[in-house]
Amino acid sequence: MTFILFVLAVAGLLMVLRQEAGAKPAIAIMAGFGVLSLIFASNWLALVLLVGAAVTAVCGLPGLRRSWLTPRVFAMFKKVAPKVSATEKVALDAGTVGWDGEIFTGKPNWNKLLVNRNNGLTDEEQAFVDNQCVHAISKCNAWDVAVERADLPPEVWEFLKKEKFFGMIIPKEYGGLGFSAKAQSAVLQRLAGNEVLMVSVGVPNSLGPGELLLKYGTDEQKDHYLPRLADGREIPCFGLTGPRAGSDATALPDTGIVCKGEYEGKEVLGLRLNFEKRWITLAPIATVVGLAFRMFDPDGLLEGEEDLGITCALIPRNTKGMDIGRRHCPIGSPFMNGPIFGKDVFIPLDFIIGGPEMAGEGWRMLVECLSVGRCITLPSGAAGAAASAVGTAGGFTRVRRQFNTPVAEMEGVQEPLARIAGLTYIAQSSVYQTANMVDNGEKPSVPSAILKYHLTEMQRQALTDAMDVHGGKAVTLGPRNYLGIGFSGTAVSITVEGANIMTRSLMIFGQGAIRCHPYVLKELAAKDNDDINAFDDAFFSHAGLIFGNAARAFTQAFGIGRPDVPFDSVTRRYAQAASRFSSAFGLCADAAMTTLGSDLKMRELISARLGDVLANLYMISMVLKNWNETQPVEGERALVEYSLSYLLNRIETALEEFFQNLPNRPVAWALKAITMPLGRNWDRPHDDVSRALARAISTDTPLREKLLRPAWTTTEEGGVDNPIAQYNDLLKHYERAEGLYRKVGKAYAKGDIPMDVLHPEDRVEAALKADILSKDEAEFMRDYEARVLEMLTVDDFAFDAFAQQKDTVIQHNAA
């Protein structure tokens, strides 16, 4: 009887904790079972339960705890709570909290995720993607752009301006296209087959003068600049980073001193600027420069503070004292990028974006714009590049034969092919659904950091895998190489708009832990306002959340109390697993903040691993939403299961690494026992699934077609060759070709074709002569083999072609 009452009491408490029902139900359960134990069972069990009920009453009932416990906890909290700097506060206040906040609760309401359905693009937007985007990229060969010109062709620049590619975010009333975030993403994915083109279009529509003007500019600034930015009369750049201010943009050494000076023949109040900027995209050709600097008023001319803070201004290119036009050479992708220097550059105060009233508001402006731009531009480019890798790697490995079989049938090749497919699916789902959130009014600051880091890392992995399966075809540069230059350019995406190392280790969890947590921000606000009642409400609700997450994580690990989720039979168990890990994440996050306190800022690897859990949960959510809203095609079930298993496996890896490295070992052991009592449940995807996916993307299937929808897959008369279109055409005829390969191969093995006939083309002719192939079959194979050989061929150059200084070439074998 004692054991039965104990089990029933524990089960009842777990039920109460799971639901975060509060102290009263818990007290009732412990008191009730305590009395039953006293009557029918063990006095010791009764004592434990009744003491537990008493302690819970004293600590959990507001009327009791506020008289003795809350003041003591509040005093301690004031001592250990992390100090939030002014710049951190701006970052925390930027953007909105949406689904990322649901993940932090430990009990995500999946219906909230599904409320705003992604209905795709408008007819106008889709037509632009299918026509203008295709025309632009069809004029860009990677070798020509990156090596021969180190620039886009002039006709492409003119076309981009004429068709308002630089005005996608600018409303139609100012002459722009007024596209949705989904449309911007689709455009950049379509252009991602050429890195220089994608960056050149993406940056003016991301962090830059256009977006800053839209949100903060004066009416006069908007009326003047926005129409000119929309039609390309003005090319913008934004000067933020410099030699000593990269990821730490708040450490700007560039200054703007308030003073009087002459402008257009009149003495006006303005700023004397001194600055040195580097790595500024579009700077060499920009006609207007957005500039971030630290603003000071030492003489009190504005009758305010001396240090006004970071400020943003717009400066025309021809402004006296500004040196602009030189270039950097970004690795693998020589898009327009360069330094800007300024020595005693005088500008009127009206050049400040938003006018003098916005002096010192630059950091807030930049952070708020980044919260949107970072989840569109580079993540979309990454998703588009991954889709291109599906097209080229799948096509190449099917037509490339070794050991008398397509290399796509070799398991060592199938593993990276399947990974390319999975990463592409995850990237596409994440960027589509997050862009849809933006279109529904959200400014997702934490998801933007998640997408920037994880999708560009997925791009790097997908292109590395594509390089591996291509072998010598991809490592030999030249006009025929459609992969190598883009692969080498992935380092740019990893580094810019917040270096990936910093984004992972400082931003994702570091910002999310305070911004997205249901109670931490309220507790800090109560501390700052010295509001003990608000603190009591937030802190003890927080305590309830901790116990609730512990109960949910523990019971769901055994399959007990799995939540009802609004997904079909294919994905239900994955959503339930995500709910379980959401509880585990919430518990671990609170444990890290509690045990490390303000030291958590410096424990970047702990923060990074918690950020990995958060990020993978977010991407799982995006895959689930995408599956729920789109019509699946044949083979897509295997792909969604591969993708979700892959992400869940990564969550378990991140949690294990977190447990191994949390300094407080007893807490780490307890967390592992609660959240993973049965050990790991999610293995990496099975080999059978990898084989199926590799075959699906290397043959003409609906799944390959769906993954390639965002990419450039067509050809245009007068345009450059499109390797994906060429592979797609070869794959349409692959089944016939494979049958004829086997027929000729069997004939050769039987001796019906002479032994010394080794080239495929020669075997076709020998097979025709021996009546093994018909005339029609031989004609088909001649054409097929010629096209395959063209796709396998690499370029060669004159001996001295690579030397810019021809007189330095050593003629090793000169006569």
CA angle 655, 660, 662 (to 5 degrees): 90
- The CA-based angle 406-412-416, given to 5 degrees, is 95
Sign of CA dihedral 228, 442, 445, 652: negative
DSSP 251: G
Q: In this structure, are residues 368 and 358 in contact, taking their beta carbons and an 8 Å threshold? A: no
Q: Which of 224, 233, 182, 172 is nearest to 204 (CA)?
A: 233
Q: Among residues 175, 122, 707, 165, which one has the least CA distance to residue 439? A: 122
Question: CA-CA distance, 580 to 586, in Å (whole number)?
Answer: 10
**Which residue, 181, 176, 311, 331, is CA-closest to 252?**
311
Distance CA 754, CA 757 (A): 6
| Sequence-distant (≥ 6) Cβ neighbours of residue 618 within 8 angstroms | 99, 100, 103, 430, 447, 450
DSSP one-letter string for 612-667: HHHHHHHHHHHHHHHHHHS---TTHHHHHHHHHHHHHHHHHHHHHHHHHH-S-HHH
Contact status, residue 621 vs residue 628, Cβ threshold 8 Å: no
Query: Could you tell me the two tokens for 54?
Result: 């008493």
Active site residue 20: no
Q: 513 CB contacts (<8 Å, ≥6 apart)?
A: 520, 589, 593, 600, 607, 610
Torsion of CA 50, 55, 57, 61, to 10 degrees: -160
Contacts for 711 with CB less than 8 Å, ≥ 6 apart: 189, 190, 192, 193, 384, 387, 388, 390, 391, 724
- The sign of the CA dihedral 635, 640, 641, 645 is positive
Kindly write down the DSSP assignment for every residue of 346-359, as one continuous string: EEEGGGBTT-GGGT
Q: Which whole-number Å values give the CA distances from 37 to 6, 27, 137, 329, in the listed order? A: 9, 15, 77, 78
**Separation of alpha carbons 239 and 337, rounded Å:** 11
Give the integer Cα–Cα distance in Å for 59 and 243: 54
The DSSP string of 174-214 is GTS----HHHHHHHHHHHTTSHHHHHHHHGGGSSSHHHHHH
What's the one-letter identity of residue 436?
N
SS3 for 268? Answer: strand
Q: How far apart are CA 710 and CA 716, in angstroms?
A: 17
Distance (Å, whole) CA 370 – CA 444: 10
Paired tokens of 193:
């087959």
Cα distance between residue 453 and residue 448, in whole Å: 9
Distance, CA of 484 to CA of 200 (rounded, Å): 19
Q: Do you know the residue count of the chain?
A: 815
Backbone angles phi, psi at 191, to 5 degrees: -85, -5
Closest Cα to residue 473, out of 484, 465, 488? 484
Separation between Cα atoms, residue 710 and residue 587, nearest integer Å: 39
Question: Which one from 497, 523, 652, 777 is the annotated catalytic residue?
Answer: 497
Residue 738 identity: E
What positions carry a catalytic annotation? 497
